[in-house]
Amino acid sequence: MKKCFLPALFIISFVLIFSCMSNRIIRENLQPLKSKREIVLLIFGDSVSGGTGVAGIRDFYGGILKQRISELFERPVSFINSSRADESYLFAPRRIQSDIQSFRPDIVFIMLGLVDAFMPNMPPSAQKKSLDKLYSTLQRNNTFVIVLTTTGLRDFAGTDDPRLITLKEYNQIVRESALYHHFPVVDIFRHMEKYRMLHPEEYRTLFASQFLLSKKGHEFVADFIYQSIEQNFEELPEKSR
């Protein structure tokens, strides 16, 4: 009984500490945005985030966030979608200057990992190295990054499905690397997993295919991200708002 209790206690403690740290970092970075005339929001991801050429399409979670964040801050928001189909953490660092820094964004949401998680012959140490390379460069440039864990897949064979186990393990590496680099995380994967366990049939409607989200799925993801922004915005000291 004791052996089972201690790992569970450790996981709960990690989640609570991680959540508190993420919220604190989000609040610290939201505070100066209140005084800006315009906020620049950038999405950096893979096909799940829309791939190339979908900036401005409201049905994607980035477009939904643009509108809602503009309403929250009562400021215009410029939206850039620097996502590319099949992008990965392994190759993303080569695009930092051209597709992130050149736009001078105020908030960058990064959702990558579906490609990386299933790369053959990629041990956890190599996966962590590719994450650290991207995060450390952005950290040096003082970029406000919110890391999003990956979405899941539409269909899993069960809790012992190797693909599910692979995604769980990979997203844990993402969380730990983000924590190390002091980047807050909005845990999309864990949120969707809870939903899948409670509402399996409804969960499947969040997808347009095995990997890609439906319009409903993009709204689901945007709602969860926005909750983290709104919660921390409302907790800002009154004088800073």
Burial of residue 188 (number of CB atoms within 10 Å: 0-12, 13-18, 19+): buried
Termini Cα distance of the chain: 49
The partner residues of 42 in beta bridges, in order of sequence, read 80, 108
CA dihedral 224, 226, 232, 236 (to 10 degrees): -160
Is-contact 127 121, C-beta < 8 A?
no
Sign of the four-CA dihedral 115, 59, 43, 191: negative
pTM for the model stands at 0.88
| Confidence (pLDDT) at 22 | 78
Mean pLDDT is lowest, of 21-25, 75-79, 115-119, for 21-25
- pLDDT tens column, 83-131: 998 999 999 999 999 999 999 999 999 999 999 999 998 999 999 999 9
pLDDT: which is higher, 22 or 39: 39
Which two structure tokens, joined as six digits, stand for 226? 């926005």
Residue given tokens 């997203």 in the structure block: 171
Give the chain's domains with CATH numbers. 39-234 (3.40.50.1110)
The 145-148 sheet, strands edge to edge? 77-81, 39-45, 107-111, 145-148, 185-186
Those residues whose C-beta lies under 8 Å from the C-beta of residue 214, and which sit 6 or more positions away, are 205, 206, 207, 208
Is-contact 38 66, C-beta < 8 A?
no
Residue (of 140, 233, 219) closest to 183 by Cα position: 140
- CA 134 to chain CA centroid, nearest Å: 14
Cα separation, 68 vs 50, whole angstroms: 18
Per-residue b or e along 129-167, where b marks 16 or more CB atoms closer than 10 Å to that residue's CB: ebbeebbebbeeeebbbbbbbbbbbbebeeeeeeebeeb
The model's confidence at residue 233, banded by pLDDT at 50, 70 and 90, is confident
Query: What Å distances lie between residue 205 and 38, 40, 99, 213, CA to CA?
Result: 35, 31, 32, 9
- Taking residues 1-18, report their average pLDDT: 49
